Amino acid sequence: MKFFLDTAIVDEVAQMVDTGLVDGVTTNPSLIAKTGADMRDTIAQMCALVDGPVSAEVTATDWQEMVREGVSLRTIADNVCVKVPLTMEGLRATHALTQAGHPVNVTLCFSANQALLAAKAGASFVSPFIGRLDDIGLDGMELISDIRLIYDNYPELETEILAASIRSTGHMREAALIGADVATLPVKVMQDMAKHPLTSSGLEKFLADWQATGQQILKDA
């Protein structure tokens, strides 16, 4: 599974990239707006930090304008992935962009039928939103499972499932068990994945025992 950071904060990407865990980044207009930073500059800095795709979202609703915005975003860096909404206009834009060789992440997916359309249109990624479905009493993981089954039924569909709107380590575990190709997650969730109370207590015991020996691994020069 590939891990993308879900953020518009460049410092968060810089903080995590040296862990070797970050395969890409996703952003959206809401995340960018919260930072108050310039969008194109933010995307450029993130693209310089990671080798993998950095999703930058169009804001147009007409497919031709989406294509124009997408082509413009692609001039920022070679690893920009154009992000478009899962509407009929977005699907038209997806087809046009992919035909021209541009990678596309189709976002705001909330049904298996939508995901099938995104794959048919040639999307590189489709982003089903787990947390937002959970928020309205539906099962976001059921959607991931349905999409995985449909895509596996048709090997010619090369679109990767990008589990999005992840809120917890539980979401990550379930998405991995189902077989999502990618997960985009906040920094906090990535950090929480490394935590376990037995790890903390075990380390505390090891260190206390080691200190009692009076030894040190690194000798003074």
The yes-or-no answer on residue 2 being catalytic is: no
167 φ/ψ angles, rounded to the nearest 5 degrees: -115, -15
Quickly tell me which residue has 């998405």 as its tokens. 175
Quickly tell me which residue has 């985009």 as its tokens. 184
Catalytic residue (choose from 83, 188, 195, 205): 83
| Active site members | 83
